[in-house]
Structure 1
Amino acid sequence: MTARAAHQMRRTSRWRRARPMSHGAVATAYLHRSADLPARTAALLGHPADEARYRRIVEGARVAWQCEYLSDDGTVTPDTQVTLVRALAFGLVLAPLRTRTADRLAALIRAAGTHLSIGFLSTGLLLPVLAETGHLGLTYELLRQATAPSWLTATPAACEAGYRRFVIARRPGGGLSSASARHESPHGLIASQCHLHDGEFTLTTRIPPGTEAEIRLPGADTVTAGPGTHTYTIDMCHEDS
């Protein structure tokens, strides 16, 4: 893949891993991982026969993966962030070659403008792998990256406390004549209570100090409410219930 094609893939696919992808590399890596976990569990529980059975699967998967995707000099194929992350996290690359593999992972991240280019299965593995293989500085740079794809692009209003603004949207129906809900937010109690009687819908809300609520009334306009207690009454005779 050329640098231009890789850049375009990152720009358009965001969190999805960049191609090429080898299904064999993925399946064999997860076979190794899936057998390694019960092998360790069996060892902790004192079941040597089960441990030995799963260890045979672990070793077979590791050897098969290494024969197909790992060269003698530590080069991993396909040469992608996600393949290298899995190889390091799952123990598929052993100690003599781990440093080279980790350095290559760091280089790929740098080449991507200090951005991740992996799928959701490996996202949680990336930062621990970098930190454990001597790339702590890059770990923090990647964590604090503010341009996509990155973790911080998901929180553009990170400095604003939760529940500063919220929505109350009651939808009467289903034969229910009343309902209520309450939540203790960082700013105080948020509460709403509604009644439906003889075609008249009544909604009472409680908005805590320092907040603002968007009240979506059934069959009516949306209103914005500040702190305090507010009551709204709507004729539902001509509304579907």
Structure 2
Amino acid sequence: MAMTPDELRRAWWIDFSGEDSMDACSATRREWYQQLFEEIFEDNFGLWQRACESGRDEKDKQRWKINALSGRRYAYHLDLFRFLGRLLGRALIDGSLVPFLEAHVYKLLLGWPITFEDLNSADEEIYKNLRTGLDMGDEIEEFSLNFSTPADNLGRGTDVEFMAGGSSVHVNADNFPEWLEGHLKYSLYGRVKAQLDELLLGFSEVVPIPILLVFVPKEFEKLLS
């Protein structure tokens, strides 16, 4: 973490200890990234989890989502996400592919806002349930919802409020769209905000975001993954 952004952008020579590599600029580098990503994007490592089936596209790519409880495994988990952000940026410079992330993460890396449709690719079942609520009208009050949602804070059950005093604000047909927006922001960003912020910060330290603004998220995903 001590390297400066300028040092992170310089050409790297990667070699394996004990091996006489004459191809450290291509094959060895790809192998190095592959081994690192296989270790980091492994269920038991604790930073990432396999996304649900709706997070897989027509080519059956396995996508990964941030583990909201990564801090349970490592007290320094945010440093690891900062490092991983830098690693993703460096992989982009070196032309090495990285594992597929949830689709909305590419939008966040580019500074694009997330939308309700992004929830469909992350969790189709929740998306369908919430979309049904848009057509329920006054019947939505029968569910006794309020502007909060249960959250697991390192094993301690807590409620996260979408607004100040949200647990006391009941959901009705008039404020349901506002509740939906709060639920969306928490589901895709708020529940892993600390980890995502470090990931984005690390990435931007290597790759200045303005030079990527010529890409739309789908193009950026193909470029990175």
Asked which structure has the greater RCO (Cα within 8 Å, sep 6+), the reply is 2
Relative to the length of structure 1, the TM-score reads 0.23
Choose between structure 1 and 2: higher helix proportion: 2
Relative to the length of structure 2, the TM-score reads 0.24
